[in-house]
Amino acid sequence: MLNQLPPLKESPSQTAGPYVHIGMTPSLESITGPNVKDLGSGPITAGTGPRIAVTGRIFDGSGAPVSDAVVELWQADADGNHAAAWGRVATDGTGGFSFDTVKPGRVPGPDGKPMAPHLTLWIVARGINIGLHTRLYFEDEAAANAADFVLNKILDPRRRKTLIAAKSERDGRSVYALDIRLQGEDETVFFDI
């Protein structure tokens, strides 16, 4: 007869730690090596299409800016093809981040219908046990957003607004801004992937 093992307790998750931005964006600390640039830095080359800027700030539960987070952006190209289009930046002292990219096209959703154009964001920082996944949708895509498979899975319409980036124009280019709130009032919707 086999010995019965008692159930094992789950070990605690490890946070990203206070040095996550050093490991993922070493140039910010003047750490040099074989790579001239940090992986994922610079303009995102997602094929041809309208160039846009994506900006935002990350805030903790008390409303303070998170100045040591790393944000990764994953997206389709302007034609809706998922190529290796991604970027990575560290937040600045105000919790701010910015990407120079191409506005993505629509991609098929799980139901086979096209999803609204969107960007996938992944956020890590000290105190976050598991990277946070969220999306950024564009306010000028209202009809597509209203029919989007993922947005419609969020039952409370007020929560959907935490994923919609506001549009403005700067130097003849569209700029989309989305603040990310990790906790508290107007907490951003995060996805369990």
The structural domains of the chain, ordered by start, are: 20-31+40-181 (2.60.130.10)
Indicate whether this model's pTM tops 0.85.
no
| 161, 48, 39, 192: CA torsion to nearest 10 | 30
Two structure tokens written together for 34: 């074989």
- pLDDT per residue rounded down to tens, the chain (193 residues): 456 666 666 555 555 555 555 555 656 566 666 655 655 555 566 667 788 999 999 999 999 999 989 999 999 988 888 776 888 898 999 999 999 999 999 999 999 999 999 999 999 988 887 899 999 999 999 999 999 999 999 999 999 999 999 999 999 999 999 999 999 989 999 998 7
The pLDDT value recorded for residue 45 is 66
Q: How far apart are CA 52 and CA 16, in angstroms?
A: 30
Q: Which helix (H) or strand (E) holds 45?
A: none
Q: What is the DSSP letter of 23?
A: H
The pLDDT value recorded for residue 17 is 55
Which of 147, 127, 125 lies closest to 137 in space, CA to CA?
Answer: 147
- Residue 16 neighbours by CB distance under 10 Å: 21
The pLDDT value recorded for residue 43 is 58
Q: How far apart are CA 135 and CA 142, in angstroms?
A: 15
